Chains A and B, each alone.
Chain A
Amino acid sequence: MTDTNGKQRPFLGYGLGLRRQHYEDVLDTKPEVDWFEILSENYMVDGGKPLYYLDRIREHYPMVMHGVSMSIGSTEPLNYDYLDRLKTLIGRVEPAWFSDHLCWTGIDKLNMHDLLPLPYTEEALDYVAERIAKVQDYLGRQMLIENVSSYVSYNESQLTEWEFLREVAGRADCLLLLDINNIYVSAYNHHFDPVEYLTAMPSERIYQIHLAGHTQEKDLIIDTHDHPIADPVYELYAEAVRRFGRVSAMIERDDNIPPLVDLLSELDRVRQIGNNFSRDQVA
């Protein structure tokens, strides 16, 4: 698989989100995780334990960086103080890549600390694509943009989410972090076919896949990251692997965090699905 610049898409293998509850275990046991993803904001501090463990774990594992506060879709000006801190962290971690979400997090200088969905309009499309391009210019590298899960749809939307995402990526010439759980959650909440979503994705831009658990409520699914990955999400992941080939994939767990060993066995299942595809290809 080659990307938009004709390069081979890098494949890091199968990873986990690094969480402080597992710092000591990771260093003591050096688990068979191919790479870790860090939450960028957790390490935008001056010193202490977060950076101490970050540096030590980085010595042993490749890393990617994942942010939640860029607010790329906000009508507020870009926060260059944030981007400078992100740049400093990129310099420290030397990640394979960094990512943030196709969303906005607040206006009027406030932060809702949530990944709020955008309307899928031509106006938003132009606006967001230009902002991503600006960020990529400022940081001097391509970024990965991730699809969020959502509970609302705007009446103004003119495009489907997958059309919007594909167009944004094309116009901004950015890469994609495809969250399979988010596709599943949004498909349920908004009654669309998740496979249609996958079909529309530009395979060459997909550098990373997120998998996570969710919570089924009465008539909505909430993206809580506090459960193991659900079976239908594994099935959708298998479908993604069939379509896109080998993509670096990982598990995000943010709440109700289990022992590392539990996540490792979950990751084994992810690895098995990913590798099955590889064998199919070779055969």
Chain B
Amino acid sequence: MMHLSELQSRFQSFILEPENGEEISWVGGTEQVPSRDRLSVYANAYVLRLKEVLESDYAAVNRAIGDDRFGLLAERYIRQHPSRFFSLRDFGNRFAAYLGEQVEIDASLRDLPWLPELAQFEWTLGLAFDSAESTLLDEQDMASIPADAWPALQFEFCPSVHRIDLEWNIPAMWKSLTADPPETVEAIRTPGSWLVWRQDMVTRFRSLDEDEWLILDLLHRGGNFNDGCELLASQIGEEGVSMRAASLLKGWIGQGLVADAVRTY
């Protein structure tokens, strides 16, 4: 007798490798529909379902390279990275990294050095889409902070806030590729940092100047307002610091990036 564990092992092996040539003696078949054809319904559905997930999560990547090239890459990813998640939402989490590896080793992808970044950008938009809600700091909250608390003030950013560093003009490409009708924009090497976040249920992104991403990074790592001002001074000189700090903070508050300000003294 074949036990449940043995049957499940054989079934799953068939789904993952339908061409493994194993004789199927454990599933019944009929003349019209032999056992292999019956099992193949599951094997085919497995690949189709996961391909649909990647097509939906990486719609711009798909449009950028066309269905045939995308389909091949998706199938290879599906074979190499079977899902370890209870939700399909997470299945594509390694696709950008996978494309990064493939671009290095697959000669047919040499003309697409920007492809992993486009995938990473799409995935980051997805992360911002359903990340946790949080409190939002508003201008009134800021005004109520006493002057002597400011130097040691630490900031907590909303969970949806992500920074992404790009070598290519990915946001412009993404906008064009996802427009209706989609358009193609040439890939141009344009290094820069971008901020991705969600505000009022809408996923947003914008570019970051160098001083802004440096201070955001410092504050995100637990640096306080005084540390941030010193960093700004090293970037733009002492005289412009208070104006720049105030302008950055006002922007962050208005865009719904800051969850809380914590007094640490």
Binding site for B on A (CB under 8 A): 41-42, 44-52, 69, 73-75, 79, 82, 104, 106-114, 116, 118-119, 121, 123-124, 127, 151-156, 189, 191, 218-220, 222
Binds A, one of B4-12, B143-151, B181-189, B223-231: B4-12
Q: How many residues of B contact A (CB 8 A)?
A: 46
**A116 and B11 within 8 A (CB):** yes
- 25 interchain pairs (CB within 8 A)? A44-B86, A46-B132, A47-B130, A48-B201, A49-B201, A50-B130, A52-B201, A69-B87, A79-B86, A107-B9, A110-B84, A111-B84, A112-B83, A113-B91, A114-B49, A118-B4, A119-B4, A119-B7, A127-B4, A152-B28, A155-B25, A191-B30, A219-B33, A220-B33, A220-B41
Residue of B nearest to A49 (CB): B201
**B130 and A113 within 8 A (CB):** no
Q: How far is the CB of A150 from chain B (nearest CB, A)?
A: 9
Q: Which residues of B contact A79 (CB under 8 A)?
A: 86
A48 and B86 contact, Cβ closer than 8 Å, known pairs A75-B4, A116-B11, A154-B28: no
Q: Give which listed residue, B12, B28, B132, B160, contacts A108 with CB less than 8 A.
A: B12
Q: How far is the CB of A36 from chain B (nearest CB, A)?
A: 20
Q: Which residues of A contact B82 (CB under 8 A)?
A: 110-111
Q: Which residues of B contact A191 (CB under 8 A)?
A: 30
Residue of B nearest to A52 (CB): B201
Q: Give which listed residue, B49, B86, B131, contacts A41 with CB less than 8 A.
A: B86
A123 and B3 contact, Cβ closer than 8 Å, known pairs A49-B129, A52-B201: yes
CA distance A83 to B35 in the complex (A): 34
**A219 and B87 within 8 A (CB):** no
CA distance A116 to B4 in the complex (A): 13
CA distance A41 to B38 in the complex (A): 28
Residue of B nearest to A67 (CB): B86
**A44 and B4 within 8 A (CB):** no
Q: How far is the CB of B161 from chain A (nearest CB, A)?
A: 13
**Interface readout for B153-189 with A: 1 if CB under 8 Å, 0 if not?**
0000001100000000000000000000000000000
Q: Which residues of A contact B88 (CB under 8 A)?
A: 41, 113
Residue of B nearest to A255 (CB): B52
CA distance A111 to B25 in the complex (A): 24
CA distance A73 to B4 in the complex (A): 9
CA distance A38 to B7 in the complex (A): 32
What are the 6 closest A-B residue pairs judged by CB atoms, nearest first? A48-B130, A46-B132, A69-B86, A45-B130, A219-B32, A47-B133
**A104 and B27 within 8 A (CB):** no
**B83 and A107 within 8 A (CB):** no
CA distance A219 to B46 in the complex (A): 20
**Interface readout for B198-232 with A: 1 if CB under 8 Å, 0 if not?**
10010000000000000000000000000000000
CA distance A73 to B8 in the complex (A): 10
Q: How far is the CB of B176 from chain A (nearest CB, A)?
A: 24
**B38 and A111 within 8 A (CB):** no
CA distance A121 to B8 in the complex (A): 13
Q: How far is the CB of B124 from chain A (nearest CB, A)?
A: 14
Most buried by A among B1, B8, B30, B41: B8
CA distance A48 to B9 in the complex (A): 38
**A110 and B45 within 8 A (CB):** no
Q: Which residues of A contact B261 (CB under 8 A)?
A: none
Answer yes or no: B2 CB below 8 A from chain A CBs: yes
* Contact residues of B between 58 and 100, Cβ < 8 Å to A: 82-89, 91
CA distance A47 to B32 in the complex (A): 49
Q: Give which listed residue, B8, B32, B38, contacts A104 with CB less than 8 A.
A: B8
**Interface readout for B5-44 with A: 1 if CB under 8 Å, 0 if not?**
1011101100110000000011110101101001101100
A46 and B84 contact, Cβ closer than 8 Å, known pairs A104-B8, A155-B26: no
Q: Which residues of B contact A152 (CB under 8 A)?
A: 27-28, 35, 38-39, 41-42
Not counting A116-B8, A154-B27, a sample of 7 additional A-B residue pairs whose C-beta atoms are within 8 angstroms of each other reads A44-B87, A49-B129, A112-B12, A114-B15, A152-B41, A155-B28, A156-B7
